[in-house]
Structure 1
Amino acid sequence: MIEIFSPTELRRARVTGALVGDILQTLKERTVVGTNLLEIDRWTREMIVEAGAVSCYVDYAPSFGRGPFGHYICTAVNDAVLHGMPHDYALADGDLLTLDLAVEVDGIAADAAISFVVGDAPSPESAALIETTERALRAGIAAAVPGGRIGDISHAIGSVLSAAGYPINTEFGGHGIGSTMHQDPHISNTGRPGRGYRLRPGLLLALEPWVMADTDELVVDADGWTLRSATGCRTAHTEHTIAITDDGPEVLTLPPRG
């Protein structure tokens, strides 16, 4: 299913996106050495409930997971990159943490992810992973113009990731979003320009470049959800929900304060 939203619906989508961005920023500010992943999950639940929003994850049970997920946020540490299930783990100095959050407000969902290093001194490897996914996301957003194609976005993202020397996994990528969290079209993190669905004003997309330092192969934890690099290398994942508008792409999941 691909949904095209009216200007009125886009105003509602901005509310959802701002909430997602604000929660992620608040969680980043609160997270320090010693913070437990279950504590992050609890904070997330409290903020979602306080906002009158609905979690997209608690009851999420797709074919690739061992559902329902049962938590309010994905917390992936170091070699974990996608669908990280919160568990009893206290973050250590230098851990690379990815937080991935999707919520629904007034019938419209938004989805975003941030990666950051806990503590004061990120390693060069971790800093490079994070910076590359952020730069790839900016490139993908810049390519998301009316009349363009999904392949233009994929090509822009993949060009940045490849130039930085990272292998690219194509099993998981970005996606359409709207009244449900995951919709068509799929947005691979590499691709050929000029191919795929034509971008139209009112289309909402979640773009999410992610990389693993030295492999494109994933393995699944015993929890049935958490995806890790097959080699144990570090990973990073950055995501925004955007709207295609007549004036170009609009990022919806920036925090309201900046």
Structure 2
Amino acid sequence: MAVFLLGPIIWSFYGSLTNAALTGPHAVNVDFIGLDNYRKLFADPTFPLSVGLTVIFVLGSAVISQTVLGLGLALIMEKANKFLSGLVGTIVVTAWVLPEIVAAFVSYAYFSKDGTLNQLLAGIGIPAINWLYTYPMVAVCLANVWRGTAFSMLIYQAALNDVPPEITEAAKIDGAGGLKRLRYVTIPMIKRTINTTLMLVTLSTLSVFTLIYVMTSGGPGNLSTTLPILAYKEAFKFSDIGYGTAIATVMLLVGAVFSIVYIRALRPEKD
């Protein structure tokens, strides 16, 4: 724990208090500058934009979309026949098992101006849209949903298999319809699984870099520059390692806040 988790966190925080650079004199002679990087960060107009885009990306493509879609697919596959269940499962899981860089290039090809999506829309008379330029956050959110929904679906499938069928049957005999059984029986019984899945999906989405960088590189301008993209640009494009590390540290704190919320939700309820 100390070597592989706590150590890197402490070293990263220390790096954010220095003027370390990728090139130049500060690449060799690093000076301690205290909180200057954080003062610069909170004065940077790009930072609040990146925070907002990160929240939109996490909420839109993980907390809401992947959770709802994953649970919906798991419920459908539970009721479907073996052939349909296997077909849907294979299609959804294929996107998940692809290497991230491959999934990113596939998404880029799909949403580009001459890509698959515009070819399909042209078939029904809708003019081509440059999705990656006009609606970059919509494109990356949909790509992340496509990429990550399988994870939620598989976890929910396992949780639904553990719901005692006699309880569901008893609710059905008592006259509870499908939506009422879902609301009052199924969801309460898999509540801890939902909270755990939300935590894992949120933290993994918070650190997504390759998908966005390949599709938009944070552009146009900064309209899809989430915190990981901003940290990369400052550290490696502009060679300011200390400033980029400060951004990464803020991202670490954001992830810690999400984790604390979810862990508190996972605590056993008192009688």
The TM-score bracket by the shorter chain reads under 0.3
TM-score by length of 2: 0.26
Identify the structure with bigger relative contact order (alpha carbons < 8 Å, sequence gap 6+).
Answer: 2
TM-score by length of 1: 0.27
| Structure (1/2) with the larger helix percentage | 2
- Decide which structure has the larger Cα Rg and report it: 2
